[in-house]
């Protein structure tokens, strides 16, 4: 069985690493925070004293880190220590420019690489049902298939290096916009005297239907179970939506593409985060939209 180094054992990384370990991979973990290393050891994952030590014998190096600059810092430590022919698998959500830079660094050192950001959150990470959006060569994609299979339910090859991040950023920009639209529609329905159930029954089966209405309804007691039914405990935290909308606007500026709804969604989520939204699920923005004044 192949050996895997797993760098970044946080909310997502630890359950993903556990799934690889349970599948029989020889796994060594590393995290910058001692508490995360201790949590990994508690579930039987061996830890190393540094990135370099963790990756020395690895066939695959999986990273699950907060952002692009940190991924590039870790790659600077990882690449000189990794075996030639090892495959670098960055599952973090990062900006497209950093993702492409990571691919360049890996290629220059003779490593195969993919960017493989995920959707599905901590629930999907624990259940091994994440969706992976993969950017990289066909050869790299085929090599990482077996390990992604142990952590995910759906694996999509989106194109060359950076294409996985591009897909993730576009999807989450649309999600932010659609959630705000969904919340506005439910808030207006309430003001017009319509019950949330009636609004749901119509919108979930009509042309307004979308994931935010049908699967992740922001009104408690309406539709399938969602964070709204659990006091808006994340789920997908407002801060993470803000991060992804920020990445979408960075990418849009670099690509010269106007995304006015994406820009507006970013501004609304920024305001919401600063006014009670921090630490809450992103669907809680309905609370702000219910009380926002119309002018």
**Residue 121 lies near ligand NAD (rule: CB under 6 A):** yes
CA dihedral 49, 51, 57, 58 (to 10 degrees): 130
**Residue 109 lies near ligand NAD (rule: CB under 6 A):** no
Angle at 103 between CA 98 and CA 106, to 5 degrees: 125
Among 31, 90, 95, 273, binds ligand NAD (CB under 6 A): 31
Among residues 62, 11, 55, the alpha carbon closest in space to that of 33 is found at 11
**Residue 17 lies near ligand NAD (rule: CB under 6 A):** no
**C-alpha to C-alpha distance for 117 and 251, rounded to whole angstroms:** 16
Instruction: Tell me, residue by residue from 196 to 235, as one string, x for binding to ligand NAD by CB under 6 A and - for no binding.
Output: ----------------------------------------
**Residue 82 lies near ligand NAD (rule: CB under 6 A):** no
| CB burial of residue 283 (10 Å; 0-12, 13-18, 19+) | buried
Is residue 168 annotated as part of the catalytic site, yes or no?
A: yes
**Residue 246 lies near ligand NAD (rule: CB under 6 A):** no
- Nearest-approach distance from CB 10 to ligand NAD, in angstroms: 2
Closest residue to ligand NAD in the complex (CB): 10
276-281: long-range contacts, CB 8 A cutoff, minimum separation 24: 277/238, 278/238, 278/239, 279/234, 279/237, 279/238, 279/239, 280/232, 280/233, 280/234, 280/237, 280/238, 281/227, 281/228, 281/232, 281/233, 281/234, 281/235, 281/236, 281/237, 281/238
Binders of ligand NAD: how many residues, by CB under 6 A? 27
**Residue 279 lies near ligand NAD (rule: CB under 6 A):** no
In the set 21, 101, 143, 168, the catalytic residue is 168
Instruction: Tell me, residue by residue from 34 to 53, as one string, x for binding to ligand NAD by CB under 6 A and - for no binding.
Output: --x-----------------
- Nearest-approach distance from CB 246 to ligand NAD, in angstroms: 11
- Which residues neighbour 148 within 8 Å (Cβ) at sequence distance 6 or greater? 89, 116, 132, 134, 155
Among 97, 122, 171, 250, binds ligand NAD (CB under 6 A): 122
The catalytic site residues sit at: 168
Q: Give the footprint of ligand NAD on this chain (CB under 6 A).
A: 7-13, 30-33, 36, 64-66, 70, 73-74, 92-93, 118-119, 121-122, 236, 240, 243
């Amino acid at each position: 069985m192949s050996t895997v180094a797993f760098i970044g054992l946080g909310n997502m990384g630890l359950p993903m690493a556990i799934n690889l370990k349970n599948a029989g991979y020889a796994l060594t973990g590393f995290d910058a925070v001692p508490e995360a290393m201790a949590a990994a050891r508690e579930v039987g994952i061996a830890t190393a004293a540094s990135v370099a030590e963790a990756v020395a014998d690895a066939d695959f190096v999986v990273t699950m880190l907060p952002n692009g600059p940190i991924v590039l810092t870790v790659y600077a430590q990882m690449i000189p220590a990794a075996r030639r022919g090892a495959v670098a698998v960055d599952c973090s959500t990062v900006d497209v420019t950093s993702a492409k830079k990571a691919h360049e660094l890996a290629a220059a050192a003779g490593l195969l690489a993919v960017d493989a950001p995920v959707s599905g959150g901590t629930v999907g990470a624990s259940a091994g049902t994440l969706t992976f959006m993969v950017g990289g060569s066909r050869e790299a994609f085929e090599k990482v298939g077996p390990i992604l299979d142990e952590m995910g339910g759906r694996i999509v090859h989106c194109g060359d290096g950076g294409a996985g991040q591009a897909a993730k950023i576009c999807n989450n920009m649309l999600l932010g916009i659609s959630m705000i639209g969904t919340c506005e529609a439910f808030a207006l329905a309430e003001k017009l005297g319509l019950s949330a159930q009636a609004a749901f029954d119509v919108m979930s089966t009509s042309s307004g239907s979308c994931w935010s209405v049908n699967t992740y309804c922001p009104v408690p007691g309406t539709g399938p179970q969602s964070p709204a039914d659990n006091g808006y405990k994340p789920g997908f935290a407002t801060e993470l939506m803000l991060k992804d909308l920020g990445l979408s606007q960075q990418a849009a500026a670099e690509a010269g593409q106007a995304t006015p709804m994406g820009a507006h969604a970013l501004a609304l989520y920024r305001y919401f985060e600063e006014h009670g939204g921090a630490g809450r699920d992103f669907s809680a923005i309905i609370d702000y939209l219910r009380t926002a004044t119309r002018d």
